[in-house]
Copies of this chain bind each other. A is one copy, B any other.
Amino acid sequence: MQKRKWRMGMVGGGKDAFIGAVHRRAALMDGRAELVCGAFSRSPEKSQAAGRECFLPDHRIYGSFQEMFAAERRLPAGERMDFVVIVTPNDVHYPAAMAALAEGFHVVCDKPMTTTLAEARRLELEVRKTGRLFCLTHNYTGYPMVKEARDLARDSRLGKIRRVVVEYPQGWLAARLEATGQKQAAWRTDPKHAGATCCMGDIGSHCENLAEYITGLKIKSLCADLTTFVKGRTLDDDGSVLLRFDNGARGVLWASQIAVGEENALAIRVYGEKGAVIWRQQDPDTLIIHWTDRANEIRRRGTGFVGPAAAAATRLPAGHPEGFHDAFANLYRRFYDALEATAEGRKIKERDYPDVHDGVRGMAFLEAVVRSSRSGQKWINL
């Protein structure tokens, strides 16, 4: 059993952020960690305000991540933060993560991991060099029924996988929201902060990660068509990709931010020779399973009919809905287990949270998608 609460710091996640508060709730939900410090904004005033709302003492609220890492480094071991959570726009992920690792801190980082594949590879090297833990918050893998789907797809129960359909439609950028000053829209549509892609980077990357997580297959080649529908926007707000996997399976991946009336309708369907799994993020406690030899099945989180991984990722009885926060908290739960093992010098058997290698994979996917979209050639290898 864990001996004390883990001490968490945060970079980003100030007032206008959405994902910072999510991380705090998810990280704190099980009472295994406490927030001890933060550099919540580039603006010291805003950082102060955010930190005080979290009941932090003023001296643990910082104006920059550089300042924070240096100051925390100097604190006594019994007080110093254990790990940092990076929840800034994409372009700050890389410098903040590199600095944290260099100062000896474990890192939890939002996705996409970096803005280029080259950065992703350098970060991978740094993680290996420093031996620090690195968790990339591809949060959808934290849902219990996603784990159930993975366990069904990866062993022989579905048979050889043939077809994958994964999609992530949203409608919130159907008009030019960034022109109104909405901060979430502003940085995501700005190549300086977001990198080479908006829609694919923000949500298509979850599709790629989820498809490979569930199937255990690797995308081998792809053919992409990115579009910018809203006038005045630079980056893609919609895209479709044909996929070929390393085992011969075929797939379709599409993501859109202009799909009017869609919320976060991430969904995946995986068809094998003997069965299929269908999962929808907006109804996350349900996994529909198809079989060739019996009627389709509604498998539900919390019942006695799920496998051990799904059961272990569950907090509530069946029918008391778990949601986004609970799934997110599952990544933290596994990250804390790893912290504990590390603290005790134990080997971690199974990590089961997305890490720096997933981040590299994601950036390779995004670069291939952008390249393919500009190309007249049909298939681009990943």
User: Which A residues fall within an 8 A CB radius of B?
Assistant: 1, 4-5, 18, 21-22, 24-25, 28-31, 35, 52-55, 162-163, 165, 167, 169-172, 174-175, 223, 225, 227, 229, 238, 240, 242, 244, 250-252, 254, 256, 258-265, 269, 271-276, 281-285, 288-292, 294-300, 302-303, 305, 315-326, 375-379
Known: A22-B315, A223-B242, A322-B324; 6 extra A-B contacts, CB below 8 A, are A223-B223, A225-B250, A259-B271, A263-B318, A295-B299, A325-B326
Nearest B residue to A160 via CB reads B229
Cross-chain pairs A/B with CB under 8 angstroms, 21 sampled: A1-B53, A25-B30, A28-B31, A31-B55, A169-B271, A223-B378, A225-B244, A252-B252, A259-B269, A259-B276, A262-B290, A263-B300, A281-B319, A284-B321, A296-B297, A296-B300, A297-B298, A316-B323, A316-B325, A376-B377, A377-B377
* CB closest chain-B residue, reference A162: B229
Complex interface: chain B residues within 8 A of A315 (CB): 21-22, 25, 325
For A276, the chain B residues whose CB sits under 8 A away are 171, 259-262
Given A28-B31, A30-B25, A223-B225 in contact, is the A262-B319 Cβ separation under 8 Å? yes
Using Cβ atoms and an 8 Å threshold, which residues of chain B touch A256?
163, 271
Residues of B contacting A261 with CB < 8 Å?
A: 275-276, 289-292, 296
In the complex, A369→B295 CA distance in Å? 34
| Residues of chain B within 8 A of A4, CB atoms compared | 55
Kindly provide the distance from the CB of A9 to the nearest chain B CB, expressed in whole angstroms: 14
A359 to B321 Cα, complex, angstroms: 25
A298's contact among B242, B262, B285, B295, by CB below 8 Å, is which?
A: B295
**Which residues does chain B contribute within 8 Å of A318, judged by CB atoms?**
263-264
Q: Is the CB of A252 within 8 A of B250?
A: no
A284 to B240: give the CA distance in the assembly, Å.
Answer: 27
A18: chain B residues within 8 A (beta carbon) = 317
Beta-carbon nearest neighbor of A261 in chain B: B290
- Complex CA gap A4/B271 in Å reads 48
The residues of B that contact A289 with a CB separation of less than 8 Å are: 261, 295
CB-CB under 8 A from A303, the residues of chain B are 263, 295
A316 to B324, CA, bound (A): 8
Contacts of A297 in B (CB 8 A): 295-298
Contacts of A294 in B (CB 8 A): 305
- A71 CA / B252 CA spacing, docked (Å): 52
Q: Which residue of B lies closest to A318 (CB)?
A: B263
A24 touching B31 by the CB < 8 A rule?
yes
Question: Which of A30, A53, A321, A378 has the most chain B CB atoms closer than 10 A to its own CB?
Answer: A321
**CB nearest neighbor in B for A159:** B260
> Contacts A260-B271, A264-B319, A325-B323; is A292 near B174 (CB within 8 Å)?
yes
Nearest B-chain residue to A329, judged by Cβ:
B25
Contact of A260 among B31, B227, B292 (CB under 8 A): B292
- Pairs A-B, 3 closest by C-beta atoms: A261-B290, A263-B319, A264-B319
Query: A244 CB to closest chain B CB, in angstroms?
Result: 8
Please give the distance in Å from A48's CB to the nearest CB on chain B: 13
